[in-house]
Amino acid sequence: MLKKVLLSIAFTVLSLPLQAQEWNELAYYLAYIGPEDMRSSRGAPVTTLGGVLQQDRANFHRFGLRHAQDESDPVFADRGLRARIPDMVNAGGNNRGSLSRMARSGQPFLVNVFVCGYGNTPSVIYLAGAGEDHSGCY
């Protein structure tokens, strides 16, 4: 009898839905992408949108190179997370349009950056140019 009760409890617990992690805006910041952000730490040109955003955050957090318009973020002080920026930019479908063209051509620009993910794990970056309307992660 006890065995049946324990099995019944076990099956009931296992059949409950797992707690889904919620989609969150983990960070929002404004970044000015200037000439310093379009060169790698070794001096090589950086021409992809994800690459210049990654270099901007490295310059901000690691090297202390900050533009007056640059804002801080609570995510990219971690080098490993900065390394994921290009993939997160791609996941957000940001590689089309004027921001991508400006990164390729070396033209400085101001950008709103929305870092989104499930729970506390960043997985997507959505971008909006200065003055563009955007709903962030929602």
Q: Following DSSP, what letter does each residue of 61-90 receive, concatenated?
A: III----TT----SSTTSHHHHHTHHHHHH
The boundaries of the domain holding residue 83 are 21-129
The pLDDT tens digits for 78-92 are 999 999 999 999 999
Residue 84 lies in a domain: yes
pTM, entire model: 0.83
pLDDT over 90 percentage in the chain: 75
Residue 8 lies in a domain: no
Residue 9 lies in a domain: no
Mean pLDDT of the chain: 87
* Total tally of structural domains belonging to the chain: 1
Residue 115 lies in a domain: yes
Chain Cα centroid distance, residue 82: 8
Does the structure show a pLDDT above 80 at 17? Answer: no
pLDDT band per the 50, 70, 90 thresholds, residue 132: confident
The pLDDT tens digits for 96-127 are 789 999 999 999 999 999 999 999 999 999 99
Residue 13 lies in a domain: no
pLDDT at position 1 = 54
pLDDT over 70 percentage in the chain: 86
Residue 2 lies in a domain: no
Residue 14 lies in a domain: no
Residue 49 lies in a domain: yes
Q: For residue 37, what are the contacts with CB-CB under 8 A and spacing of at least 6? A: 46, 52, 53, 55, 56, 59
- CB distance 110 to 130 below 8 Å: yes
